[in-house]
């Protein structure tokens, strides 16, 4: 039969365009799938491929070469009904995946699966029946029968969808409607052909036209779904970010409250201790004789205030830079030995990076440092002490070397306990402290530093 639409001057004009469109669509979706691994993309490619094979098999006579018929001359005959059904089967698979039907509408999903079984059953059955020698009219009628069932079922399913419409569905519906219209036209035309009416149009033609329309609709639909998934991802990200910020804000508030409580506590206690200290001084002044016990009371009170002053210092976040810490230690050391006859030499490298040091690190390091100086002052009988501070390997390294008599761990464990305490204080801040007897005592303190993530000024 001369096909006027599909050939132009007997050249396969329409078929070429159709094949070109489908090939490009397949390539486009294939590229998309490479980046976005979604199973609905794969089903769609398979569906398009099946359609292409079907079109080729039906209209191969228009082409200048033999494609499929070289494998079997009756290929066209056998696959005449089977191939389109196979592609419809793939289309339904695609639709279910695209619309997330198993999750969104599980009961409807079951019905569509049953329909799919029917479709694939006929797709397999048709060539078998033909091969078995069933007369073509019988097979044709079977084809029309199954077609009607599929069309009616699809109509019911689409109507069911209408009950709860999602925007994504509109794409599905448009495409499906095209297909259904094409199928109906195909059925009508082939029936007419059967009855001998010459329509001048190949029955499969409207199906092909509608397939193209559906392809274009669906590519849009696939992109739309990707867009939806992306914006949902962004929403989730935004929510997480908001939650994180809220958490940070609460943490900050908590720290502020904690610091306020600490400050009030220190103020209260400090005030009381000052009272004790000053009243003690008054008693001393007014008494004509030395009062060693009063001296002890005053001494204890002053020590306590000093200790609390250091705690206040380490809690104060304004003091949290590494350079502040080092300068504080320097001044502390110089003041500590001011009235003694121990000469202090202080070496600090000049470029101290502006890294924050946490409150607990400042506190623990200060305590260990104090204890070390205390040992030197009380027990070492040294005349010179060299204190060096350097930063290397993301660590603060403090080396205190006195030229005293060295230390001996005595029988009563008091010295030992002090050293164990120092070690545990350093371990608590992921650092360590070590002692060596070498021309006096060399104490090495190491404290790891955390560089902020965005670099250091």
Partner 1 sequence: MIRVAIVEDTEDIRLATAILVGGSQGFECKYHYKSGEDALEKLPFNTVDVVLMDINMCGISGIECIRLLKPKMPDTYFMIFTVYEDEENIFKALKAGAMGYLLKRSSPNQILDAIRDLFNGGSPMSSEIARRVVTTFNPPVSLENQNPHDLTVREREILDFLAKGFLYKEIAASLFISHETVKKHIQNIYRKLQVQTRTEALNKAFSK
Tell which residue, 171, 179, 175, 221, has the closest CA to residue 32. Answer: 221
Q: Does 279 bind partner 1 (CB under 8 A)?
A: yes
User: Within 10 Å of residue 28's Cβ, how many Cβ atoms?
Assistant: 13
The answer to whether 335 contacts partner 1 (rule: CB under 8 A) is yes
* Residue 216, burial from CB neighbour count under 10 angstroms (0-12, 13-18, 19+): middle
Quote the least distance from Cβ 336 to partner 1, whole Å.
11
Query: Nearer Cβ to partner 1, position 268 or 413?
Result: 268
Residue 292 neighbours by CB distance under 10 Å = 7
Span from 13-21, 43-51, 334-342, 375-383 in contact with partner 1 (CB under 8 A): 334-342
Is 282 one of the binding residues for partner 1 (CB under 8 A)? yes
Question: Where does this chain touch partner 1 (CB under 8 A) — which range of 111-119, 217-225, 271-279, 422-430?
Answer: 271-279
Q: How far apart are CA 441 and CA 216, in angstroms?
A: 85
Q: Binding of partner 1 at residue 356 (CB under 8 A)?
A: no
Pick between residue 52 and residue 344 the one whose CB is nearest to partner 1: 344
- Residue 387 has phi, psi (to 5 degrees) of -115, 125
Tell me how far CA of residue 32 lies from CA of 21, 25, 91, 285, in angstroms.
17, 11, 18, 92
Residue with smaller CB distance to partner 1, 147 or 344: 344
Does residue 336 bind partner 1 (CB under 8 A)? no
Interface with partner 1 includes 343 (CB under 8 A)? no
Q: Is residue 312 a contact residue for partner 1 (CB under 8 A)?
A: yes
Q: Total binding residues for partner 1 by CB under 8 A? A: 36
Would strands 384-392 and 343-348 be described as parallel, antiparallel, or unpaired?
parallel
From the list 74-82, 126-134, 330-338, 403-411, the region that binds partner 1 by CB under 8 A is 330-338
Residues 447, 147: Cα–Cα separation, whole Å: 80
Does residue number 275 form part of the binding site for partner 1 (CB under 8 A)?
Answer: yes
The nearest distance, CB 241 to partner 1, in angstroms, is: 33
If one asks whether residue 437 binds partner 1 (CB under 8 A), the answer comes out as no
Return the HEC string of 362-426. Answer: HHHHHHHHHHHHHHHHHHHCCCEEEEEEEEECCEEEEEEEECCCCCCCCCCCHHHHHHHHHHHHH
Positions 239 through 268 that interact with partner 1 (CB under 8 A): 266-267
Tokens representing 230 are: 């992306």
278 is a contact residue toward partner 1 (CB under 8 A):
yes
- Min dist CB 248 to partner 1, Å, is 24
Buried b (16+ CB within 10 A) or exposed e, 193-208: eeeeeeeebbbbbbbb
Distance of alpha carbon 125 from alpha carbon 280, whole angstroms: 110
We find the least distance from the C-beta atom of residue 384 to partner 1, in angstroms, to be: 16
Q: Does residue 326 belong to the site contacting partner 1 (CB under 8 A)? A: yes
Residue 343 CB-half CA count within 13 A: 4
Query: Closer to partner 1 at the Cβ: 288 or 318?
Result: 318
Q: Does 379 bind partner 1 (CB under 8 A)?
A: no
Position among 38, 330, 379, 444 found at the interface with partner 1 (CB under 8 A): 330
CB of 385 to partner 1, least distance (A): 15
Select the span of 100-108, 246-254, 326-334, 404-412 touching partner 1 (CB under 8 A).
Answer: 326-334
**Spatial separation of the C-alpha atoms in residues 289 and 198, rounded to whole Å:** 138
Closer to partner 1 by CB, 118 or 348: give it. 348
Q: Does 331 bind partner 1 (CB under 8 A)?
A: yes
SS3 at position 452: coil
CA distance 55 to 204: 9
345 makes contact with partner 1 (CB under 8 A): no
Nearer to partner 1, 212 or 308 (CB): 308
Q: Per the structure block, which two tokens stand in for 135?
A: 């007369």
Q: How far is the CB of 256 from partner 1 (least distance, A)?
A: 14
* 72 contributes a contact to partner 1 by CB under 8 A: no
Local structure of residue 297 (DSSP, 8 states): H
In 3D space, the residue among 340, 344, 317 whose CA is nearest the CA of residue 331 turns out to be 344
Q: 193 vs 320, which CB is nearer to partner 1?
A: 320
Q: Which residues bind partner 1 (CB under 8 A)?
A: 266-267, 270-271, 273-275, 277-279, 281-282, 285-286, 301-302, 305-306, 308-309, 312-313, 316, 318-319, 324, 326-332, 334-335, 338
């Amino acid at each position: 039969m001369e096909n006027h639409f599909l050939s132009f001057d007997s050249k396969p004009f329409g078929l070429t365009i159709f094949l070109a469109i489908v090939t490009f669509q397949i390539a486009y979706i294939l590229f998309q799938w490479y980046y976005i691994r979604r199973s609905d993309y794969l089903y769609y490619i398979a569906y398009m491929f099946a359609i292409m094979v079907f079109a080729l098999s039906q209209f191969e006579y228009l082409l200048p070469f033999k494609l499929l018929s070289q494998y079997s001359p009756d290929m066209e005959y056998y696959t005449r009904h089977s191939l389109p059904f196979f592609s419809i089967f793939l289309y339904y698979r695609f639709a279910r995946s695209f619309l997330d039907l198993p999750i969104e509408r599980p009961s409807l999903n079951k019905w569509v699966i049953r329909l799919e079984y029917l479709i694939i059953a006929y797709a397999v059955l048709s060539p078998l029946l033909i091969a078995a020698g069933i007369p073509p009219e019988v097979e044709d009628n079977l084809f029309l029968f199954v077609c009607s069932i599929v069309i009616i079922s699809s109509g019911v399913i689409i109507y069911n969808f209408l009950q709860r419409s999602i925007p994504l569905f509109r794409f599905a519906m448009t495409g499906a409607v095209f297909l259904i219209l094409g199928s109906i036209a195909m059925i009508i035309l082939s029936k007419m052909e059967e009855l001998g009416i010459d329509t001048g149009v190949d029955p499969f033609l409207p199906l092909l036209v509608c397939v193209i329309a559906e392809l274009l609709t669906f590519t849009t639909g696939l992109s739309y779904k990707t867009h939806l998934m992306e914006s949902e991802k962004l929403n989730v990200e935004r929510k997480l970010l908001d939650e994180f910020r809220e958490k940070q804000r609460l943490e900050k508030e908590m720290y502020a409250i904690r610091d306020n409580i600490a400050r009030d506590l220190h103020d209260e206690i400090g005030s009381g201790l000052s009272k004790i200290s000053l009243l003690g001084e008054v008693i001393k002044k007014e008494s004509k004789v030395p009062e060693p016990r009063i001296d002890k009371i005053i001494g204890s009170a002053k020590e306590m205030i000093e200790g609390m002053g250091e705690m206040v210092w380490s809690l104060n976040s304004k003091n949290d830079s590494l350079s502040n810490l080092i300068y504080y230690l320097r001044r502390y050391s110089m003041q500590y030995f001011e009235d003694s006859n121990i000469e202090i030499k202080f070496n600090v490298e000049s470029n101290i990076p502006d890294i924050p040091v946490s409150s607990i690190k400042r506190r623990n390091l200060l305590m260990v440092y104090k204890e070390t100086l205390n040992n030197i002052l009380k027990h070492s009988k040294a005349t010179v002490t060299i204190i060096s501070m350097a930063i290397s390997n993301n660590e603060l390294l403090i080396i205190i070397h006195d030229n005293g008599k060295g230390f001996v761990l005595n029988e009563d464990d008091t010295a030992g306990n002090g050293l164990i305490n120092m070690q545990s204080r350093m371990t608590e801040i992921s650092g360590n402290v070590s002692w060596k007897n070498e021309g006096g005592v060399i104490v090495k303190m190491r404290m790891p530093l955390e560089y902020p993530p965005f670099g250091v000024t």
